[in-house]
């Protein structure tokens, strides 16, 4: 069997060791005679899987007491609604930072429930930078401030945590959670779709400060109430059990790699290799301000867009897949999450150099 290097933005590569472990346990999980996907979510076998997954995640991120960890469905997009439903708590306004397509989607959904104050936007610069903090027009009476630390499509990333003056900070960390250490205590809510750094699609991880739960908007669906889901251990209804199990295997794998500090060093090095090549070339270009380039998603264009199709075709033949940029941006995009081995980035860099020599 030959595995390719899959640079998809999500669903993305998973660690090969995790997939091998899942294959070994597919028909019989640890002598139970059952596959995990066949187990009752309330049975002792799955309850042990769920408990260990949460424990490992808490250890990896150093999640303090006073925070609940929820394993939900609906993707990060469902959180665009769940955040205002749970965090407005009698207030009518929330602050949002607009740095790209996912920020815009979160803003559009929040406007269904409250007045949205766009405290800062990078739209005028085509989302290639982050507005300086001293230009933000935040509201001290806002229910919360929401931002997207990494814009998957545009490849723009915050390398700092915004100070909010006591207003709860909310982050869509779908593309960055578990890629490096994180001070969870700085946040009110962190949420992330699993299909990038955590596991397969179908699971959403939410980390929520306990004092922000318990005052949901009237009429909100029961399943959208953080307090209800926390009180029921994320099992008010049947959770995405197999995705939860695979996420747990990823957490184990991360611990085996040396934890998030070790992953940060690897991820910094992987991204550096790609950016160094792009910056040294007249053939490739990255449009993002170097001060806020993403470690996880590296967009780039070719000097001659007519070569895009040839680049993608030859890259695929070389075992380098899913490099086409998002339709709203064009060009190429290499997503290099935790599970992308450094050898995959090396292979891409080598291919890009060779392609430039032949077509530049």
Domain ranges of the chain: 16-256, 259-359
Q: What is the per-residue pLDDT across 10-48, written as a single tens digit (0 to 9) for each?
A: 999 999 999 999 999 999 999 999 999 999 999 999 999
Q: Is 196 a catalytic residue?
A: yes
Select 16-256's CATH number: 3.40.47.10, 3.40.640.10, 3.40.50.720, 3.40.50.11260.
3.40.640.10
163 CB-near residues (< 8 Å, 6+ apart): 133
Q: What is the per-residue pLDDT across 293-348, written as a single tens digit (0 to 9) for each?
A: 999 999 999 999 999 999 999 999 999 999 999 877 889 999 999 999 999 999 99
Per DSSP, which regions of the chain are E strands?
Answer: 5-6, 67-72, 93-98, 115-121, 145-147, 150-151, 156-157, 169-172, 189-193, 204-209, 284-285, 297-302, 320-321, 332-335
Number of C-beta neighbours around residue 132 at 10 A: 8
| Residue 292, CA distances (Å) to 99, 159, 192 in order | 11, 7, 20
Spot the catalytic one: 102, 244, 253, 295: 102
- pTM of the shown model: 0.96
Q: Is 276 a catalytic residue?
A: no
Pairing of the two strands 297-302 and 332-335: antiparallel
d(CA 4, CA 316): 9
Instruction: Give the CA-trace dihedral at 237, 243, 244, 250, to 10 degrees.
Output: -170
CATH topology of domain 259-359: 3.90.1150
Nearest to 300 by CA among 310, 314, 291, 311: 311
Spot the catalytic one: 196, 244, 253, 270: 196
**Which region among 84-98, 260-274, 294-308, 315-329 has the lowest average model confidence (pLDDT)?**
315-329
Spot the catalytic one: 104, 172, 253, 270: 172
Residues linked to residue 151 through DSSP beta bridges, in sequence order:
156
- The sign one gets for the Cα dihedral 102, 107, 108, 112 is positive
């Amino acid at each position: 069997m030959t595995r390719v290097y899959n640079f998809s933005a999500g669903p993305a590569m998973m660690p090969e060791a995790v997939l091998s472990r899942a294959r070994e346990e597919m028909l019989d999980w640890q002598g139970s005679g059952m596959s995990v996907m066949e187990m009752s979510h309330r049975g002792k076998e799955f309850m042990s899987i769920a408990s260990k997954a949460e424990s490992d995640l808490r250890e990896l991120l150093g999640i303090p007491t006073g925070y609940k960890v929820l394993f939900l469905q609906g993707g990060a997009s469902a959180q665009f609604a769940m955040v205002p439903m749970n965090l407005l708590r009698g207030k009518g306004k929330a602050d949002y930072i607009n740095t790209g397509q996912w920020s815009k989607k979160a803003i559009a959904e929040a406007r269904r429930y409250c007045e949205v104050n766009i405290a800062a936007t990078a739209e005028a610069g085509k989302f290639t930078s982050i507005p300086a903090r001293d230009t933000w027009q935040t509201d001290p009476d806002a229910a919360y401030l929401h931002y997207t630390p990494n814009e998957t499509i545009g490849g723009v990333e915050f390398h700092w945590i915004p100070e909010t003056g006591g207003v709860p900070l909310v982050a869509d960390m779908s593309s960055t959670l578990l890629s490096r250490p994180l001070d969870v205590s700085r946040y009110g809510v962190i949420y992330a779709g699993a299909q990038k750094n955590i596991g397969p699609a179908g699971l959403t991880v939410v980390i929520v400060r306990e004092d922000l739960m318990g005052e949901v908007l009237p009429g909100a669906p029961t399943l959208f109430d953080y307090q209800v889901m926390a009180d029921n251990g994320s099992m008010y209804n049947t959770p995405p059990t197999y995705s939860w199990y695979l996420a747990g295997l990823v957490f184990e794998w991360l611990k085996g790699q040396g934890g998030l500090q070790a992953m940060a060093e690897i991820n910094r090095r992987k991204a550096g290799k790609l950016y160094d090549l792009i910056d040294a070339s007249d053939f490739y270009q990255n449009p993002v301000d170097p001060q806020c380039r993403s470690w996880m998603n590296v967009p780039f264009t070719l000097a001659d867009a007519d070569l895009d199709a040839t680049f993608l075709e030859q890259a695929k033949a070389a075992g380098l897949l899913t490099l086409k940029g998002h339709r709203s941006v064009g060009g190429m995009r290499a997503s290099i999450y935790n599970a992308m081995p450094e050898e995959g980035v090396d292979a891409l860099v080598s291919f890009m150099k060779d392609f430039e020599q032949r077509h530049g």
